[in-house]
C-alpha cells in the first residue's frame, strides 16, 4: 500500500479492511466508520484552522472548513491516496464504476480516518490525517475565505427586501459515476433566469447563482 495512505501499521487489520468495504460488498461495511470519520475530519481540520488563523471570525473558519472537507475535496484526496484501487465493492458498483464515484471515495476516506483513530487513538489519527489537508490549508487566503455564490446571492436579495431565488433541476445526464447536472436559478424581481452546470447538483446551483448575481448587479447599475 502507498506509504502516504498507510501512515502507521494497523494493530487490527480488520479495521482497515472494514473501512475499505462498501455496503454493496457485504454486511461488515464502512458506514458506521464513515459516521465517526466525518466527525473526526471536521474536528482535525477545524482545530488546524483555529490555530492557523487566531484572528479569523467564526464565519471565515466555517467557510474554510466546508471547502476543505466537502465531498468533492475529500474525493480528490482519496484519489491521491489511491483508495479506489483498494475498495471492496459489490458487482453492481464495480460495473457502474463505483470506485471512481466522489461519494464512495469520500465516505471511504472518512472511514479510514475512523479506523486509524480506533486502532491507535486520536493523537496518532491527527498526526496521520493532518498532512493530507496541509496543502489545501496552506493555499487558503489567511482568514479571508469568501462566501459562496448562493450565500452572496441570498444576502444581495435580502438586503433589498426581495424574494429569495428558486433553483430548478433542468436535467441530469451521464452514467452514475460521471454525471452532469444543469440547474436554473430564477428570481421574481426583476424576473430573471440564469443557468449553471456542474458534476454535482450543488456545483451547478453555485454556478447558476453566480451568473444570476452578475445579471442582477448589471441590471441594478
Catalytic residue among 34, 38, 93, 107: 38
- Say if CB 99 and CB 85 are below 8 A apart: yes
DSSP class per residue in 38-65: HHHHHHHHHHHHHHH-TT--HHHHHHHH
Element (H, E) at 166: strand 166-173
Q: Please give the model's pTM, rounded to 2 decimal places.
A: 0.67
Verify whether residue 178 is a known catalytic residue: no
pLDDT score, position 157? 92
Distance of CA 91 to the CA centre of its chain: 26
Residues 133 and 45 in one domain: yes
Q: State mean pLDDT over 93-99.
A: 85
Domain that holds residue 117: 13-139
Residues 43 and 78 in one domain: yes
Residues 154 and 98 in one domain: no
The whole-angstrom separation of Cα 119 and Cα 132 is 19
Average pLDDT, the chain: 88
Residues 50 and 115 in one domain: yes
Examine residue 5 and state whether it is found in any structural domain, yes or no: no
Return the CATH number at 185: 3.30.160.20
Q: How many domains does the chain have?
A: 2
Residues 70 and 130 in one domain: yes
- Say if CB 110 and CB 37 are below 8 A apart: yes
- pLDDT tens-place string over residues 163-207: 999 999 999 988 765 678 999 999 998 899 999 998 888 888 989
Strand order across the beta sheet in which 180-187 lies: 166-173, 180-187, 192-198
Identify which of 42, 202, 39 has the alpha carbon closest to the alpha carbon of residue 133.
Answer: 42
The whole-angstrom separation of Cα 50 and Cα 151 is 23
- pLDDT tens-place string over residues 6-34: 456 789 999 999 999 999 998 999 999 99
Verify whether residue 110 is a known catalytic residue: yes
Examine residue 44 and state whether it is found in any structural domain, yes or no: yes
Catalytic residue among 34, 102, 107, 110: 110
- Say if CB 18 and CB 29 are below 8 A apart: yes
Residues 109 and 32 in one domain: yes
Residue with cell 501499521: 9
Residues 103 and 210 in one domain: no
pLDDT score, position 206? 87
Amino acid at each position: 500500500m502507498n506509504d502516504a495512505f498507510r501512515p502507521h501499521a494497523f494493530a487490527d487489520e480488520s479495521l482497515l479492511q472494514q473501512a475499505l468495504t462498501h455496503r454493496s460488498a457485504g454486511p461488515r461495511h464502512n458506514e458506521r466508520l464513515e459516521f465517526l470519520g466525518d466527525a473526526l475530519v471536521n474536528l482535525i481540520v477545524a482545530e488546524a484552522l483555529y490555530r492557523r488563523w487566531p484572528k479569523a471570525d467564526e464565519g471565515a473558519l466555517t467557510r474554510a472548513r466546508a471547502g476543505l472537507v466537502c465531498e468533492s475535496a475529500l474525493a480528490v484526496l482519496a484519489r491521491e491516496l489511491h483508495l479506489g484501487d483498494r475498495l471492496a465493492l459489490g458487482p453492481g458498483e464495480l460495473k457502474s464504476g463505483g470506485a471512481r464515484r466522489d461519494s464512495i471515495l469520500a465516505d471511504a476516506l472518512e472511514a479510514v480516518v475512523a479506523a486509524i483513530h480506533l486502532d491507535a487513538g486520536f493523537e496518532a489519527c491527527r498526526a496521520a490525517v493532518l498532512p493530507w489537508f496541509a496543502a489545501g490549508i496552506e493555499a487558503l487566503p489567511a482568514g479571508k475565505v469568501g462566501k459562496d455564490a448562493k450565500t452572496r446571492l441570498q444576502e444581495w436579495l435580502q438586503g433589498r427586501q426581495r424574494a429569495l431565488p428558486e433553483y430548478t433541476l433542468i436535467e441530469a445526464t451521464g452514467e452514475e459515476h460521471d454525471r452532469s447536472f444543469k440547474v436554473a436559478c430564477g428570481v421574481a424581481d426583476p424576473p430573471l433566469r440564469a443557468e449553471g452546470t456542474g458534476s454535482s447538483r450543488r456545483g451547478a446551483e453555485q454556478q447558476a447563482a453566480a451568473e444570476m448575481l452578475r445579471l442582477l448587479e448589471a441590471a441594478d447599475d
